[in-house]
């Protein structure tokens, strides 16, 4: 028996379920083969390839990688050969070629690295340049806001270790997140380790397991970090291997600190707070002795007591307290400046180091002159250097604190996974013999878990027992609970409403839907908007320009003082002309802030994409945001986008003397073989169940000699009668006469945007079934709102002109293009772009992939477990058309915030630098002391982050608040 593929129109054999179990019992040795598969463009293609392979006998697992155009198959050679697998892939409509199974044949991989120590765009730019200069790196992008690097590289030339070394050579700490392979990492705490022999025994046991990649042991914390392939082994297997080593003297549990992003963020917050506290503790005495206590008569006499020559107690105390701040607490600025200068770049650390050193070493010069001279009188700047460092550390602490809030969307998504799960224990015959509570991180592929009412689903899988409704709003945005029964997929993190479900786990770790959504949001937050190139370009010259301006300011004021170009009354009594010039120069150096400029775009993108995720709109980065706010033309697909995408039978007309029940018995028997891929077949079978009054799995009559004819229909022998179910062309091709009554129904149905299926028995039309895919309730109102926004609307569909025009009229769309192939849709979009439009394509992400890629902004309607590999730039998870308006509006708001951030950051520097240089001093005697300039510099970065955080208050457009669908107001 064969099945019809909706994606490509080819035939698949029915699955052979027993071969894998037989192979396992016989202890057959499995093999692995990797195919290069060309032609895959989306998640539907991946599903087609996976199903085609798994229907063969002897297939243990099939992993399809759309991004790298690869498929890895684990199989038993005694049941199936490599050539047969290749043929199955090609039968599904794709070009396949077996390649070496070594992972080194992969032409590209994506490595994620967490980077610590970056302070501004100069840092991220220098790391990006270092990575891109490596031979074998295709693309590298470094995100300052997320502190991560995403590197696309050729594993034939480089390893992830080379990438880590390149980052470390630039002077920053690099922590590997992932290498781009199907590898999962787990951290375990082991009790019972006594010596090196214990460690060696554990390592030997783990290395013996299939799928274990690397093992790192940290003896100081008894922590072991294991990377493994989740489709070959799992965390419980690893723990069992450890605990069975050494006569059971070891005990392994999940390490309590998962070392995640939030933990590292908190560690960074604590580190800056600790530095600030110590800096403040030493700075307060310096501040008091220089600016407060000297005005108290009794205390002033003590501070003025001479120690050696003109060196008094107050000056000595300030020197002693300022030195630890400068060299111990402020060490990080020296290290950062050295690493930046070593690579030929300059960052914020360079400015801070130069400014504080100028103040400190001039003060040290004052101390030395005072100690060796009986007549020297000079003012020190110890309070400038120490207070400057303290305020900058306070600013960094507040900045990290604020930046942590920009990534709360990811933390909320990660919290959806329950901490524990109920694992069902089965005997050899498959009967449940017990259950136990386990940590959800210990779930492995093919486990069966029990989900009780009110509990969260712990991992992706399909229902093998039970019936319930599941609330998927937190993942897909679907407000109504979705009915689940045997065979239906469930997503990890969703909530079981009622009824007990037994779920067989199919995806864990990095393969899960939740992880892919999180990864998509993280990747979006790393992506740079084109507008950020402006900031990156400025940052290259910013610090050198500031240094030149600072030196020019100092020299100008110093020269003016020497030449008596201004009155002596301008010079404060506590300093001379040199010291006044030095203060102006230091103020210019420390008030200029490249950080605010560097944070303007990424923080807004982080918050905007995070807010979008909570609204059910996944925006894949700054490029999508920038393009979306320019959209002035939207191209809609019809089926599944403007229409519901779930056809239902609306009319049945019989032309033979037979009961409706018998008619549908024959029709459903033929169409049942197309399930679950074909939507029309599904509609007919579901309607047949209602006619026969059987809502469960009805046993249809056997369909022999089943044949599916691509684009036409199916035929089979049912109860010794030749059944044909298909369109008009199929009937005419088989010389079956169509009565005038049937022709009238065909014409009428087409005008009503309905699809007509003819059913023939033994060469004679027995009846007609009209199937309708109704317009979505919100479609007309959404199109009206988009028209009011001056956006051109076009509908492009592969359906016939009659159906297309009918749907367009109902939706209020004036421009229609029908009978279009996927390539034709893409061509139409390119024509619109050539006419000057910024085009958004809205489709279901399956047959519309070429058009989604061709558009300036691709919007995919619908979400699921394959969400991360859709071709679209924006994914509308709720499948609601009104979310198109939210996506465009959110893009507008985010981009306006980016512009405001740039105005703030640039305006701050353009205004603050002249004031710091003393432009107001001649007329007002107003000057900025360096420590106030440092505080202002820190405040500028915080203000930009806080400005971006205001996006968290985003509200959906008021136009949508008044949207009414079928008389129901949508809030």
Q: With helix as H, strand as E and coil as C, how does 829-869 read?
A: HHHHHHCCCCEEEEECCCCCHHHHHHCCEEEEECCCCCHHH
Residue 103 has pLDDT above 50, yes or no: no
Contact 765/655 with Cβ under 8 angstroms? yes
Residue 106 has pLDDT above 50, yes or no: no
Q: How far apart, in whole angstroms, are the C-alpha atoms of residue 323 and residue 360?
A: 8
Phi, psi of 622 (to 5 degrees): -65, -35
DSSP character at residue 967: T
- Coil, helix or strand for 959? helix
pLDDT band at 523 (very low <50, low <70, confident <90, very high): low
Only one residue has tokens 């015959």, namely 429
Tens of pLDDT, residues 584-633: 888 888 787 677 777 788 788 888 888 888 788 888 777 788 889 899 99
DSSP character at residue 103: G
Q: Hey, what's the torsion of the CAs at 633, 639, 641, 643, to 10 degrees? A: 110
Higher pLDDT, 15 or 239: 239
Residues of the chain above pLDDT 70, percent: 83
Q: State the DSSP string of 569-594.
A: GGS-TT--HHHHHHHHHHHHHHH--H
List, in order, residues 6 or more apart from 488 with CB less than 8 Å away: 462, 463
Q: For residue 24, what pLDDT is reported? A: 52
Tens of pLDDT, residues 366-398: 899 889 888 777 778 788 788 878 888 887 787
**Catalytic one among 65, 447, 460, 637?**
637
Tens of pLDDT, residues 401-426: 766 665 555 666 666 778 888 999 88
Phi, psi of 764 (to 5 degrees): -135, 130
Q: For residue 677, what pLDDT is reported? A: 53
Contact 758/733 with Cβ under 8 angstroms? no
Average the pLDDT over 271-281 and give the result. Answer: 92
Tens of pLDDT, residues 887-933: 999 999 998 998 888 888 888 888 888 998 999 999 888 888 777 77
- Please name which of 683, 633, 692, 631 lies closest in space to residue 659, comparing C-alpha atoms: 692
Average the pLDDT over 306-311 and give the result. Answer: 89
Q: For residue 2, what pLDDT is reported? A: 38
Q: How far apart, in whole angstroms, are the C-alpha atoms of residue 356 and residue 279?
A: 14
Q: How far apart, in whole angstroms, are the C-alpha atoms of residue 103 and residue 159?
A: 12
Question: Is 254 buried (19+), middle (13-18) or exposed (0-12) by CB count in 10 A?
Answer: middle
- Please name which of 962, 636, 946 lies closest in space to residue 791, comparing C-alpha atoms: 636
Q: State the DSSP string of 61-90.
A: EEEEETTTTEEEEEE-TTT--HHHHHHHHH
Q: For residue 282, what pLDDT is reported? A: 95
Q: For residue 607, what pLDDT is reported? A: 85
Q: How far apart, in whole angstroms, are the C-alpha atoms of residue 667 and residue 681?
A: 9
Give the CA count within 13 Å in the CB-facing half-sphere of 130. Answer: 25
Tens of pLDDT, residues 178-188: 776 556 778 88
List, in order, residues 6 or more apart from 962 with CB less than 8 Å away: 969
Residue 277 has pLDDT above 90, yes or no: yes
List, in order, residues 6 or more apart from 158 with CB less than 8 Å away: 134, 135, 136, 137
**Tokens coding 116:** 């610590």
For 758-799, what is the HEC assignment? EEEECCEEEEEEEEECCECCCHHHHHHHHHHCCCEEEEECCC
Average model confidence (pLDDT) across the chain: 80
Phi, psi of 816 (to 5 degrees): -130, 140
For 352-375, what is the HEC assignment? HHHHHHHHHHHHHHHHHHHHHCCC
SS3 content of the chain, % helix, strand, coil (to 5): 50, 20, 30
Q: Supply angle C-alpha 525, 526, 527, rounded to 5.
A: 95
- Coil, helix or strand for 377? coil
Q: How far apart, in whole angstroms, are the C-alpha atoms of residue 952 and residue 612?
A: 10
Q: State the DSSP string of 266-300.
A: HHHHHHHHHHHHHHHHHHHHHHHHHHTGGGSHHHH
Tens of pLDDT, residues 476-490: 555 567 788 888 888
Element (H, E) at 947: helix 930-949
Question: Is 126 buried (19+), middle (13-18) or exposed (0-12) by CB count in 10 A?
Answer: buried
Phi, psi of 121 (to 5 degrees): -65, -25
Average the pLDDT over 735-763 and give the result. Answer: 84
Ramachandran region of residue 677, left (φ > 0), alpha (ψ -120 to 50) or beta?
A: alpha
Contact 682/688 with Cβ under 8 angstroms? no
Q: For residue 41, what pLDDT is reported? A: 58
Whether 427 sits among the annotated catalytic residues: the reply is no
Residue 10 has pLDDT above 80, yes or no: no
Only one residue has tokens 């093992």, namely 215
Q: What stretches of 633-751 show up as alpha helix (H) in DSSP?
A: 660-671, 679-691, 728-733, 740-751
Q: For residue 965, what pLDDT is reported? A: 43
Q: For residue 968, what pLDDT is reported? A: 33
Phi, psi of 67 (to 5 degrees): -60, -40
Phi, psi of 35 (to 5 degrees): -110, 140
Tens of pLDDT, residues 322-348: 999 999 999 988 888 887 787 777 777
Tens of pLDDT, residues 429-450: 778 888 888 888 888 888 899 9
Q: For residue 451, what pLDDT is reported? A: 92
For the ranges 1-15, 91-105, 414-428, the lowest mean pLDDT is seen at 1-15
pLDDT band at 698 (very low <50, low <70, confident <90, very high): low
Q: State the DSSP string of 398-410.
A: HHHHHHHHHTHHH
Contact 619/609 with Cβ under 8 angstroms? yes
pLDDT band at 139 (very low <50, low <70, confident <90, very high): confident
Question: Is 147 buried (19+), middle (13-18) or exposed (0-12) by CB count in 10 A?
Answer: buried
pLDDT band at 43 (very low <50, low <70, confident <90, very high): low
Q: Supply angle C-alpha 722, 728, 731, rounded to 5.
A: 30
Q: How far apart, in whole angstroms, are the C-alpha atoms of residue 550 and residue 553?
A: 5
Q: How far apart, in whole angstroms, are the C-alpha atoms of residue 402 and residue 908?
A: 20
Only one residue has tokens 């390490």, namely 255
Largest CA distance in the chain: 126
- Please name which of 454, 451, 473 lies closest in space to residue 462, comparing C-alpha atoms: 451
Q: For residue 911, what pLDDT is reported? A: 87
- Please name which of 297, 301, 292, 360 lies closest in space to residue 326, comparing C-alpha atoms: 360
Q: What stretches of 454-563 show up as alpha helix (H) in DSSP?
A: 473-476, 513-526, 532-562
Phi, psi of 345 (to 5 degrees): -125, 170
Phi, psi of 422 (to 5 degrees): -100, 110
DSSP character at residue 105: G
Q: How far apart, in whole angstroms, are the C-alpha atoms of residue 754 and residue 757?
A: 10
Q: Supply angle C-alpha 698, 702, 706, rounded to 5.
A: 120
């Amino acid at each position: 028996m064969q099945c019809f593929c909706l994606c490509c129109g080819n035939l698949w054999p029915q699955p052979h379920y027993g071969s894998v179990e037989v192979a396992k019992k016989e202890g057959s040795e499995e093999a692995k083969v990797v195919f290069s598969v060309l032609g895959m463009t989306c998640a539907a293609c991946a599903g087609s390839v996976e199903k085609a392979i798994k229907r063969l006998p002897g297939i243990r697992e099939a992993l399809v990688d759309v991004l790298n155009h690869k498929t890895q198959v684990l199989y038993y050679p005694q049941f199936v050969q490599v050539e047969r697998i290749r043929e199955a892939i090609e039968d599904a409509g794709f070009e396949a070629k077996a390649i070496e199974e070594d992972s080194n044949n992969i032409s590209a991989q994506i490595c994620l690295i967490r980077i610590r120590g970056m302070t501004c765009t100069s840092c991220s730019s220098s790391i990006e340049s270092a990575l891109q200069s490596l031979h074998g790196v295709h693309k590298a992008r470094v995100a300052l806001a997320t502190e991560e690097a995403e590197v696309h590289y050729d594993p034939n030339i480089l390893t992830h270790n080379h990438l880590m070394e390149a980052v470390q050579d630039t002077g920053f700490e690099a922590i590997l997140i992932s290498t781009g392979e199907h590898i999962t990492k787990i951290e375990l705490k082991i009790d019972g380790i006594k010596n090196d022999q214990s460690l060696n025994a554990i390592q030997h046991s783990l290395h013996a397991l299939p799928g274990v990649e690397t093992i790192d042991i940290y003896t100081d914390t008894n922590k072991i970090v294991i990377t493994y392939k989740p489709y070959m082994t799992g965390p419980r297997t690893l723990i069992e291997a450890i605990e069975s080593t050494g006569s059971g003297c070891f005990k392994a549990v999940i390490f309590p600190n998962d070392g995640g992003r939030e933990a590292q963020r908190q560690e960074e917050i604590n580190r800056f707070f600790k530095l600030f506290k110590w800096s403040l503790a030493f700075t307060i005495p310096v501040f008091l002795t220089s600016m407060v206590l000297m005005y108290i008569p009794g205390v002033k006499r003590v501070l003025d007591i001479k120690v050696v020559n003109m060196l008094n107690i107050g000056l000595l105390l300030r020197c002693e307290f300022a030195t630890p701040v400068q060299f111990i607490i402020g060490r990080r600025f020296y290290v950062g400046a050295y690493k930046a200068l070593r690579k030929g770049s300059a960052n914020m650390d360079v400015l801070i180091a130069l400014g504080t050193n100028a103040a400190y070493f001039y003060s040290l010069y004052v101390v030395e002159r005072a100690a060796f001279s009986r007549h020297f009188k000079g003012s020190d700047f110890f309070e400038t250097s120490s207070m400057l460092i303290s305020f900058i550390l306070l600013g960094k602490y507040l900045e990290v604190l604020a930046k942590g809030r920009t990534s709360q969307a990811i933390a909320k998504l990660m919290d959806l996974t329950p901490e524990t799960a109920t694992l069902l224990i089965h005997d050899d015959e498959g009967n449940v013999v017990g259950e136990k509570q386990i940590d959800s991180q210990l779930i492995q592929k093919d486990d069966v878990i029990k989900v009780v009412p009110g509990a969260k689903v712990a991992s992706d899988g399909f229902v093998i027992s039970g019936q319930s409704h599941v609330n998927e709003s937190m993942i897909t945005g679907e407000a109504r609970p979705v009915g689940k029964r045997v065979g239906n997929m469930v997503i990890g993190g969703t909530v079981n409403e009622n009824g007990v479900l037994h779920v067989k786990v199919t995806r864990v770790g990095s393969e899960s839907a939740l992880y892919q959504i999180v990864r998509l949001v993280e990747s979006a937050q790393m992506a740079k908007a084109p507008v950020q190139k402006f900031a990156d370009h400025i940052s290259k010259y910013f610090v050198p320009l500031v240094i030149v301006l600072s030196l020019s300011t100092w020299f100008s004021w110093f020269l003016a003082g020497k030449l008596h170009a201004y009155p002596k009354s301008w010079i404060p009594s506590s300093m001379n002309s040199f010291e006044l010039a030095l203060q102006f120069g230091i103020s210019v150096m420390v008030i200029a802030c490249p950080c605010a400029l560097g944070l303007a775009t990424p923080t807004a993108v982080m918050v905007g994409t995070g807010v979008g995720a909570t609204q059910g709109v996944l925006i894949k980065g700054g490029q999508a945001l920038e393009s979306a706010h320019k959209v002035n033309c939207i191209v809609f697909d019809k089926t599944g986008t403007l229409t519901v995408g779930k056809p239902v039978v609306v009319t049945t007309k019989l032309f033979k003397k037979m009961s409706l029940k018998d008619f549908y018995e024959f029709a459903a028997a033929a169409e049942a073989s197309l399930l679950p891929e074909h939507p029309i077949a599904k509609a007919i079978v579901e309607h047949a169940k209602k006619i026969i009054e059987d809502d469960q799995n009805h046993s249809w009559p056997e369909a022999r000699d089943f044949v599916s004819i691509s684009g036409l229909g199916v035929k089979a022998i049912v109860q010794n009668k030749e059944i044909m179910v298909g369109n008009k062309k199929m009937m005419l091709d088989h010389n079956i006469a169509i009565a005038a009554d049937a022709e009238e129904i065909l014409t009428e149905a087409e005008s009503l945007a309905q699809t007509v299926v003819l059913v023939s028995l033994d060469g004679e039309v027995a009846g007609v079934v009209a199937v309708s895919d109704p317009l979505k309730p919100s479609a007309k109102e959404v199109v009206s709102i988009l028209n009011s926004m001056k956006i051109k609307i076009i509908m492009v569909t592969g359906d016939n002109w009659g159906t297309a025009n009918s749907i367009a009229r109902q939706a209020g769309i004036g421009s229609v293009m029908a009978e279009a192939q996927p390539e034709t849709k893409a061509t139409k979009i390119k024509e619109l772009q050539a006419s000057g439009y910024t085009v958004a394509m809205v489709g279901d992400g399956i047959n519309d992939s070429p058009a989604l890629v061709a558009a300036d902004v691709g919007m995919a309607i619908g979400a699921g477990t394959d969400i991360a590999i859709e071709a679209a730039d924006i994914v509308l998870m709720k499948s609601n058309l009104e979310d198109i308006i939210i996506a465009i509006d959110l893009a507008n708001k985010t981009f306006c915030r980016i512009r405001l951030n740039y105005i703030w950051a640039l305006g701050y520097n353009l205004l603050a630098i002249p004031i710091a240089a003393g432009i107001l001093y001649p007329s007002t005697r107003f000057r900025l002391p360096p420590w106030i300039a440092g505080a202002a510099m820190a405040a500028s970065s915080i203000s930009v982050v806080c400005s971006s955080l205001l996006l968290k208050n985003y509200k959906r457009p008021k136009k949508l608040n008044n949207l009414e669908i079928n008389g129901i107001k949508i809030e």
